[in-house]
């Protein structure tokens, strides 16, 4: 009597049917790029790889290569502290500006408040400097500042005067003044143009500093006085 043949694993797979064979094949691990992958975990691992690749692309795309303003120009350099003037540096020139139309501080129709600004410079220093001394302002009828004519008004502003204020600007220290015609004799003047000049008298009696030319303003009644 012959014994029945034992079925091998291959025969069992054949008898198992297509669905069991697919399950057996997909559960077997595979190797890709030196990394062992499990087919059952493949979707999760592929999702992780996609996320890492996307993050790498975004990171590379978000790197800042150039910072500009909204109109495309490069940003200005970082501001630096201006150099301080040595103690021996003295002013030898100035920048003198005034408002073209004085204000009417007391609202009587006659302008009386003149705003003036001065920067002191030395030819040996790149920016304006600060120096002890007094500022003298004189107001003349137009065209008479170089003659022996008497000024319409004059002011001498000493270092501690409330008319004088010191400010810090990009050009260096600047002096600002509020000059009142009322304090200098009165504001009820005829409507005309007037020339103002300025000079700086250092406290150490060094060389005087004079403005270059005159600054012309309008003085006198603007509306009919009541």
Euclidean distance between CA atoms 9 and 20, whole angstroms: 13
Of the CA atoms within 13 Å of residue 143, those in its CB half-sphere come to: 2
Residue 122's pLDDT is 94
Which residue's structure tokens are 């790889």? Answer: 49
Q: How far apart are CA 38 and CA 26, in angstroms?
A: 8
Distance from C-alpha of 144 to C-alpha of 33, rounded to nearest angstrom: 97
3-state secondary structure (DSSP) of residue 46: helix
Token output for 179: 């000059």
Neighbours of 202 (CB within 10 A): 16
Residues of the chain with CATH 2.60.40.1930: 93-219
Residue in 149, 77, 87, 155 with CA at minimum distance from that of residue 122:
87
Structurally, at CATH architecture level, domain 93-219 sits in Sandwich (2.60)
DSSP string, 169-219: ETTEEEEEEEEETTTTT-S---SEEEEEEEEEEETT----EE-SS-EEEEE
Quick one: pLDDT at residue 81?
73
Q: What is the pLDDT of residue 189?
A: 92
Q: What is the pLDDT along the chain (226 residues), one digit of tens a residue?
A: 555 555 554 455 455 455 555 444 545 555 544 555 555 556 666 677 777 776 665 555 555 556 667 777 888 888 777 778 888 899 999 999 998 789 999 989 899 999 999 999 999 999 999 999 999 999 999 999 887 889 999 999 999 998 899 998 888 999 999 999 999 999 999 999 999 999 999 999 999 999 999 999 999 987 654 5
Cβ 108 vs Cβ 225: under 8 Å: yes
What's the confidence (pLDDT) of residue 10? 46
Q: In whole angstroms, give the CA distance from residue 128 to residue 107.
A: 36
3-state DSSP call for residue 223? coil
Q: Any idea what DSSP says for residue 67? A: -
E strand segments, 110-150 = 113-121, 133-141
């Amino acid at each position: 009597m012959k014994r029945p043949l034992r079925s091998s694993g291959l025969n069992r797979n054949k008898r198992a049917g297509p669905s069991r064979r697919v399950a057996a094949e997909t559960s077997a691990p595979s190797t890709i790029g030196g990394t062992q992958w499990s087919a059952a975990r493949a979707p999760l691992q592929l999702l992780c790889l996609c996320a890492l690749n996307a993050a790498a692309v975004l990171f590379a795309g978000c790197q800042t290569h150039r910072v500009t303003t909204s109109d495309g120009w490069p940003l200005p350099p970082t501001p630096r502290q201006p150099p301080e003037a040595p103690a021996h540096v003295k002013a030898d020139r100035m920048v003198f500006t005034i408002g073209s139309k004085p204000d009417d501080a007391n609202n009587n129709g006659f302008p009386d408040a003149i705003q003036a600004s001065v920067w002191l410079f030395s030819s040996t220093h790149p920016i304006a400097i600060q120096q002890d001394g007094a500022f003298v302002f004189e107001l003349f009828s137009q065209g008479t500042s170089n003659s022996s004519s008497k000024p319409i008004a004059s002011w001498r502003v000493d270092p501690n005067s409330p008319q004088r204020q010191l400010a810090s600007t990009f050009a260096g220290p600047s002096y600002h003044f509020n000059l009142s015609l009322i304090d200098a004799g009165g504001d009820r003047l005829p409507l005309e143009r007037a020339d103002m000049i300025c000079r700086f008298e250092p406290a150490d009696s060094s060389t005087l500093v004079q403005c270059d030319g005159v600054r012309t303003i309008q003085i006198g009644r603007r509306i009919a006085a009541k």
